[in-house]
Each structure stands twice: as structure tokens, then as C-alpha cells.
Amino acid sequence: MKITIFGTGYVGLVTGACLAEVGHNVLCADVDESKIERLKQGIIPIFEPGLETIVRDNFNQGRLNFTTNAREAVEFGDVQFIAVGTPPDEDGSADLQYVRAVARSIGEAMTSTKIVVNKSTVPVGTGDKVQAEISTALAERGLSIEFDVVSNPEFLKEGAAVNDFMKPDRIIIGTTNPASEKRMRELYAPFNRNHDRMIVMDLRSAELTKYAANAMLATKISFMNELANLAERLGADIEQVRIGIGSDPRIGYHFIYPGCGYGGSCFPKDVQALHRTARDVGYNAKLLAAVESVNDRQKVKLFDLIVRHYGGQDALAGKTFALWGLAFKPNTDDMRAAPSREVMAALWGAGAKVQAFDPEAMEETQRIYGQRDDLLLCGTRDSALKGADALIVCTEWKAFRAPDFALMASALKEKLIFDGRNVYDPNRLAEDNWLYYGIGRGLSI
Ligand code: UGA
């Protein structure tokens, strides 16, 4: 099948590369010329395991191509995917200008029947807006060409994006048009083997399914963080509680890890946007508001523990902290809404310095913060410790799980750890006279 993808961000690039990988002919379009040039040379703009290889292979085999020419892109695919960004507006709602612009270009250039598939995370009702935008552009050209708008939200996780796309839990298709359903079944047939993973529903329900999934996952995390803060005050260990409740299959072990807050480009944005959508239709979504505010508080949790340890903010001036993990989660270089950023900003505000290390996000950190006296970017995990007053862990990269504690003890001024992801065993550290603060681990405080 001939497929066009608008937008070469995480979702667009992974979708394009994976569809080409199973044999479709794919053209990816983006307005960013330098990005498209680099993609043609096999240079991908993000760190995502396995992606670079399939982009290169499929480009070399001629099944995956790139363009900045919207007209060419519209002409190419019988199926047109919209996978452009929907960043939050100032009021928290999703900004649809890029989605609308693509819809307009499709309407302005199409000369044959198309299926337009919305893969961007968009508020309920956007499908209708895309439909209207294309119809208007066609009417302006005095044409009436058949097309259908389908919703097909994406559920991939950064760091596991290729695998998630190749082996999806589910493929949600929002359409009530049997011809479009048939076409989407053909397109996804290579990913839909062994048992049927395709769930077909009306367009609005498909749009809401995406927000519902992210909001549910964010709710699980905020719930656990709330409980963690309670456990800390009650002298209980949230990690024991986590294992205890996860054993109930109705609750499950996934996404109940307490920590220094959820980040990334999706959860914060989507919870906010859904809350805003609720308000727009006159509903006060109290739970969503709480999920958001619990997370905001959790992102400064590590700083609060640090302040508590030193007996006040004033005591932080002139101190230096080693910080491990800058990305919002392991296996990505993405620092959007990363808890590490809140921790660093608070430490800097109190006059402290940071010596930071992340296995993948060093370039991104440099890009965001540039040169500053209170941030030292370190080339290795262990060099970040040198002469620091304490260690802070913000992201649970594998390489942080089994550090050399003896070396750590000699590099740090004090045997002191603030662990935002509960990576370490407090009892084991206590035996070795470390002072350890985790999240919701009342027993160790
Ligand atoms: C999330 C969803 O998991 C994907 O299904 C969805 O497709 C994607 O958003 C999207 O909408 O595009 P992602 O943002 O890549 O994926 O990251 P997650 O793995 O979900 O992690 C989000 C945040 O939650 C991270 O900061 C992580 O550290 C935190 N988290 C996760 C916890 O604090 N506790 C947990 O138990 C799990």
C-alpha cells in the first residue's frame, strides 16, 4: 500500500519506519528541511532503540522516503496519516494548528480518493474538524472528491517504540465506514497476526480512548505517590505495599511504581488537555485535577527531602549535588517535563550546584541549559560524584542499579543518597552506614 505520514516526530517516524518494514511504501513529510535532509542520510533526531536501523534499511531499499513537499506527499499515499504535534496551549488545551494545517494541505492538493488517518493525540471532536477543513479546501477548488477521516491513536512508549508498534496490544480504529475499516485492516494485517488485536469503534470513542488510557496510567502513578507520602508518615514502606497490592490481578504490577513524578511529552499534556475538555463541556473532572496536582507536588518531593535533611533551604547555598538521570525515564534522551529539571531548578534557586550525568540525555541537557556555573555536565556516572555533598537519583537507568558503593563513599563528602526512583535497598545501605531517603519508605527515615 502507498502511505503518507505527515510529521516525523516520535509517532510519525516510528509509524513510517515500521509500516515500511512490513513492506508498505511510505513517504514521510515534514516542514523542517534540515530534519528531512538528515533523515535521508540516515540520521534520526531522537534516541530510540532500533529505530535508526529500520529507518536506514527501509530508506536504502526504497520503501521509505522523505519530503518537505506537501503536494507530493498528498499525491503519494492512498492513506494519509496525520502525526504532527499537538503541544499544550497556554490554557492546557491541545493546540491543533499543525493538525489543521495538514488537513488543509490535503484538501488543497488531493486529486483522488483518500483515507485520512489521525494518529496525533487530539481532543474528542477533532476528526470532525479535520473533515470540515478538507471539505472547505476542496469546495474552494470547486471539487468534490470522496474521502474519509479515521481515528487511529498511537499507544507506543518512548524507549520501546519500535517494539510497541511491531507488537501492539491493540490497534484502535475509529470509523463507522465499512470501506475504511476494510482498508485499515489490510494496512495493519502484518501487525495483527495470531489473534485479532483490532478494535473498531466510532471516531469520537477512539479519540477518547487515547486520553482515557494515558489518564488512567497517570492516575495509577499519582495514586501510588499519594500513598507513598502517607507511608512515609506512617512508618510503612510503600515498596512492600506495592508488591502487596500488585499481587491482586485486578490491580496488577504495572504503573504502580512510586517516584519523583511522571514526566514526558504525553502524561502531563494529556491529563491537562482532558481536564480542559471536561471543563469545555461543563463537567468538573475532579479526579483529573487531583492527578495533576499530586504530580506537581511529587516533582518537588526530592527537593523537599533535601531541604528537610539540611534543616532549611538556606543551608543549601554553596552545596554541590551529584544528579544521576536527567531524561524523564530510562532508554530515552527526552527531557520534556522531566522531574530532574524541577529538582535542578529548585537547587539552583537555593544557591546549590549540580554535577549531572545521564547515559543518553547529556546533549539534550547541554542544548536546554547551555553553559552555566552551577551545572557541571559529567562524562561518566562516577565522575559526577566527585566532591559532591550527596547523590540524587531522578531516573532509574539500569547502569545506576548496581553502583560501586565503596567508590561512591570515597567520592562523596557524606554517605548520603536521595533516591527518587527507589532503586536501592534501604536496609542494605543502612548496614553500611549510608543515610538514605527514598520515596515513601518511612522505615528508613
Ligand atoms: C506514555 C504511555 O505509556 C504510552 O502508552 C503512550 O502512547 C504515550 O505516553 C503517548 O501518549 O504517546 P511515555 O510518555 O513514553 O508513554 O512514557 P511512560 O513509560 O508511560 O512513562 C511516563 C512517566 O511515568 C515517566 O516519567 C515514568 O518515569 C513515570 N512512571 C511510569 C512512574 O512514575 N511510575 C510508574 O509506575 C510508571
Is there an atom of ligand 1 within 6 Å of 255 CB? yes
What's the pLDDT at 444? 45
Atom 29, ligand 1: residue with shortest CA distance: 262
ipTM of this predicted structure? 0.95
φ, ψ of residue 168 to 5 degrees: the values are -70, 150
Residue 124 in contact with residue 208, Cβ under 8 Å? yes
What's the pLDDT at 194? 85
What is the dihedral sign for C-alpha 102, 105, 109, 114?
positive
Report, as an integer, the average pLDDT of 17-35: 97
Distance from the first to the final alpha carbon of the chain: 60
157 marked as part of a ligand binding site: yes
Atom 13, ligand 1: residue with shortest CA distance: 157
Residue-by-residue DSSP string for 29-48: E-S-HHHHHHHHTT--SS--
Q: Which ranges of 150-202 would DSSP assign to H, the alpha helix? A: 161-166, 178-188
Residue in 260, 266, 378, 394 annotated catalytic? 266
Taking the centre of ligand 1 as the mean of its atom positions, its distance from the CA of residue 224, in whole angstroms, is 14
To the query of whether residue 266 is one of the catalytic residues in this protein, the response is yes
Query: Which residue, 430, 421, 425, 391, is CA-closest to 228?
Result: 421
Task: Assess whether pLDDT exceeds 60 at residue 27.
Answer: yes
Q: Ligand 1, closest atom to CA 157?
A: 15
The model's confidence at residue 443, banded by pLDDT at 50, 70 and 90, is: low
What's the pLDDT at 92? 77
Helix (H, G, I), strand (E, B) or coil at 320: strand
Which cell numbers hold the place of 408? 561512591
Is there an atom of ligand 1 within 6 Å of 323 CB? no
Q: Ligand 1, closest atom to CA 158?
A: 15
Residue from 158, 211, 292 whose mutation best tests the ligand 1 pocket (most atoms within 8 A of CB)? 158
Task: Compute how many other C-beta atoms are within 10 angstroms of the C-beta atom of residue 170.
Answer: 14
pTM of the model: 0.94
198-201, strands of its sheet edge to edge: 64-67, 25-29, 2-6, 79-82, 114-118, 147-151, 171-174, 198-201
What CATH topology corresponds to 202-445?
Rossmann fold (3.40.50)
Q: Which amino acid is at 165?
A: F
Atom 11, ligand 1: residue with shortest CA distance: 266
Fold: same for 2-201 and 202-445: yes
Is there an atom of ligand 1 within 6 Å of 10 CB? no
What's the pLDDT at 151? 98
Helix (H, G, I), strand (E, B) or coil at 114: strand
φ, ψ of residue 330 to 5 degrees: the values are -65, 165
Burial of 113 (0-12, 13-18, 19+ CB in 10 A): exposed
Task: Assess whether pLDDT exceeds 50 at residue 148.
Answer: yes
Q: What tens digit of pLDDT does each residue of 230-280 get?
A: 999 999 999 999 999 999 999 999 999 999 999 999 999 999 999 999 999
Task: Assess whether pLDDT exceeds 80 at residue 110.
Answer: yes
Q: How far apart are CA 108 and CA 127, in angstroms?
A: 18
In the chain, what percentage of residues exceed pLDDT 90? 96
What's the pLDDT at 66? 98
Q: What tens digit of pLDDT does each residue of 121-142 get?
A: 999 999 999 999 999 999 999 9
Report, as an integer, the average pLDDT of 326-354: 97
Report, as an integer, the average pLDDT of 15-44: 97
Architecture of domain 2-201: 3-Layer(aba) Sandwich (3.40)
Report, as an integer, the average pLDDT of 172-201: 96
Q: Domain limits of the chain?
A: 2-201, 202-445
Q: How far apart are CA 28 and CA 70, in angstroms?
A: 10
Report, as an integer, the average pLDDT of 49-73: 97
Task: Assess whether pLDDT exceeds 80 at residue 186.
Answer: yes
What's the pLDDT at 300? 96
Report, as an integer, the average pLDDT of 400-413: 97
Q: What tens digit of pLDDT does each residue of 368-387 get?
A: 999 999 999 999 999 999 99
Report, as an integer, the average pLDDT of 101-129: 96
Helix (H) / strand (E) element for 248: namely none
Task: Assess whether pLDDT exceeds 60 at residue 445.
Answer: no
Is there an atom of ligand 1 within 6 Å of 155 CB? yes
Lowest mean pLDDT among 59-68, 87-96, 185-194: 87-96
